[in-house]
Amino acid sequence: MSVQVRHHPGINLSHARPEDERHTEVTVFGFWTFLMNDAILFALLFATYATMVNRTAGGPTGPELFDIGNAFVETLVLLVSSFTFGMGAVALKEGRERAVTLWLGVTLVLGLGFVGLELREFASLIGQGATAQTSGFLSSFFVLLSTHGLHMLVGCIWIVVMLVQVSTFGLSRQVRSRILRLGLFWHFLDLVWIVIFTTVYLPAVAS
């Protein structure tokens, strides 16, 4: 009977050899550094958006364009996908391979659903003549939202790659370590989305 000690954030896997554990600790910390780098990129896109939000150049404004219902559904899809990934992480910790595959699959479907909803929103905006070239406001809006959307798409591709690796290699040490980092990435995108609906959609719908 051993006391489980958590050594780093995210999923903590038990390692047979201490050098494996140190390796995981170092790579996870490195990945955190990348995520914080990414956070600064998003923060500056938010600053750009906040500066540009009233520069509509005679074109349509946020309150005229945004569909708050769609934004709410997108938020829920993303939140639930973060939760299902968490369930996958618990299954991973217990070494239940089928459950890991199942939860990763559910997360993938939700992630693709989110990307689909976002693309539908973009298509509807462009259909109303609100393209990225229309105004400074719409340029910064599309850059911010599509940067997040591209991250989501990369996350989905990463899930597919991990599903293939789980079916090929099983839950080997490297595979577990990679899924752990994918989890940090996925939860991080959820955090960015919270700031997006708080700064982009909610102020627009209230004004």
Partner 1 sequence: MSGPWEGDYRGHVVAQPSSDAQSETRSYVWGLGLAVVLTAIAFGLAVFKVLAGSALLAAIGILALIQIAAQFRFFLHIDLSRSKREDLQLILFTGLLILIMVGGSLWIMASLDQRMMG
Least CB distance to partner 1 at residue 105 (A): 17
Residue pair 78/191 in contact by the 8 Å Cβ criterion: no
**Closest CB to partner 1 among residues 91, 175:** 91
Contacts by 146-153 with C-beta closer than 8 Å and gap 24+?
Answer: 146/122, 147/41, 147/42, 147/45, 148/42, 148/189, 148/192, 148/193, 148/196, 149/115, 149/118, 149/119, 151/38, 151/185, 151/189, 151/192, 152/111, 152/114, 152/115, 152/118, 152/189, 153/115
**Closest CB to partner 1 among residues 19, 94:** 94
Least CB distance to partner 1 at residue 12 (A): 8
Least CB distance to partner 1 at residue 203 (A): 6
Site residues for partner 1 per CB under 8 A: 1, 3-10, 12, 29, 32-33, 36, 39-40, 43-44, 46-48, 50-51, 68, 72, 75-76, 79-80, 82-83, 86-87, 89-90, 93-94, 184, 187-188, 190-191, 194-195, 197-198, 202-203, 205-206
**Closest CB to partner 1 among residues 131, 187:** 187
Give 30-71 as a DSSP string: HHHHHHHHHHHHHHHHHHHHHHHTT--TTS--HHHH--HHHH
How many residues in total does the chain contain? 207
**Closest CB to partner 1 among residues 126, 143:** 143
**Closest CB to partner 1 among residues 131, 199:** 199
Least CB distance to partner 1 at residue 158 (A): 17
Cα–Cα dist 113/78, whole Å? 9
Least CB distance to partner 1 at residue 183 (A): 9
